[in-house]
A and B are shown apart, each in its own frame.
Chain A
């Protein structure tokens, strides 16, 4: 449990400000954390706090301005916020799922990749009848199941989830979280789980890090942070949920 799978040190990233002026906006300002094997680390904070930028950098999709990212596994995958846009609208669902293995298929034929895609659909409990459909014909929850199937095709050690349920209905959210939790145990996945929803994180994550203004302001065991928040900001964040 103490073996580290992902380590991030002093990550910084700024973007050019609106209008192309000289002023740069700092999105992530010195973030450090690590994810242990089999662990789920939650990254919470309000929108604009730099969570998604951090996730993209950790996934290697965005180059940091400075800092270090060390991934000690072979494969990591990511689940995106908007499941509909995470599937190519011109490709059939099974085809999109198959892409998860397509470029690493070795000696597997395309037909075998497709067979694996169908098996992955079973694993995420997406009806095989959807294999020949397009993303737009599926509901948001079904699309998200498809992207999860694509992500686990290659058997990654780490799954980075960028608000995987915030575009979904509340009833569907719980099912997706249930699925992710199930895969955590059956596939031995570790998670970096980005969310603004503290209630969601509390049930799913072992540890949480609270982000604000591009920095991590508090990090610790989920139960500790949520029951005895040390930072003023974490309290505000918690209160905002309770008053809803």
Chain B
């Protein structure tokens, strides 16, 4: 097994474990993540509460596990949606060219004119706080990356002799898109998606931190970090553990993205 492959397998295994935690978080939680118990307010890590408790006596470990699904799966859902939408827009713009290209790219430019996170905050603010609204606002920010990348890839491909040859063979636009363009564009797009998941997770936590995403009492890492700030002096674990979870998630997705990129470069060579 090559070094690249070994790394990819390790990263995939770690990611799988992480995702399992996210899926079965509630079942694995040692305590009820929402049960308040003022007798155990702001207790440090112990056998019963491995990550300590917050000011209401809620188990931090249980809340971190419970929050994993909101933090990770919302980001994955947003990434999947923007990947599909952005790639479709980019490919159409690049391949159709002309007026359609102009229109679609102007639209992309409008969204890109604003700093990404500011736009997300503004949209989330307008739509009102909540997980779904936060996802919509992040979707509006992130799709442009895929649209622009897909378009530039298609523009380069369009001139390739093998595309011209396909046209001469009588291929219709849909044939060329499905047979030649999509398979050429997808690997780069998938790598980009993997590398972007980390950013989306961070932005999602950021929105929740600002009170625009997941609302209390529902557990979510960004929201937990925001809430824990008030007890930074007396109970630093309130912030430490959700931050570590967030850190680990972002790192893991970024490293996996690197592995996927290496793997696809090796396997799909030009």
Contact = CB atoms under 8 A, between A and B. Distances in A.
Interface stretch (A16-24, A95-103, A202-210, A236-244): A95-103
Contact of A103 (B171, B268, B270): B171
B183 A90 contact: yes
Interface in A63-120: 76-78, 80-82, 85-90, 96, 99-104
Contacts of A49: none
A136 B269 contact: yes
A82 B169 contact: no
B164 A80 contact: yes
Given A90-B268, A96-B162, A150 B167 contact: no
Contact of B164 (A61, A89, A100, A136): A61
B165 A80 contact: yes
Nearest to A76: B168
A56 B164 CA distance: 9
B162 A88 contact: yes
B175 interface: yes
B166 interface: yes
B19 interface: no
A162 to B, nearest CB: 9
Interface in B144-199: 160-162, 164-172, 175, 179-180, 183-184
Given A89-B270, A90-B183, A90-B268, A59 B168 contact: yes
A43 to B, nearest CB: 18
B165 A78 contact: yes
A136 B270 contact: yes
What DSSP secondary structure best describes chain B's contact surface? helix
A147 interface: yes
A85 B162 contact: yes
Given A78-B164, A85-B162, A100 B184 contact: no
A102 B269 CA distance: 26
Nearest to B175: A103
B165 A150 contact: yes
Nearest to B171: A103
Interface string B56-77: 0000000000000000000000
Given A90-B268, A103-B171, A85 B161 contact: yes
Query: Max chain B CB contacts within 10 Å: which of A56, A77, A89, A101?
Result: A89
A154 interface: yes
Contacts of B162: 85-88, 96
Contacts of A101: 169
B100 to A, nearest CB: 17
Nearest to A86: B161
A102 B169 contact: yes
Contacts of B161: 80-82, 85-86
Interface in A16-63: 56, 59-61
A136 B267 CA distance: 13
A118 to B, nearest CB: 17
Contacts of A103: 169-172, 175
30 contacts: A59-B168, A61-B167, A77-B168, A78-B165, A78-B168, A80-B165, A81-B161, A82-B161, A85-B161, A86-B161, A87-B162, A88-B162, A88-B166, A88-B184, A89-B270, A90-B180, A90-B268, A99-B166, A99-B171, A99-B179, A101-B169, A102-B171, A103-B169, A103-B170, A103-B171, A103-B172, A104-B170, A136-B269, A150-B169, A154-B169
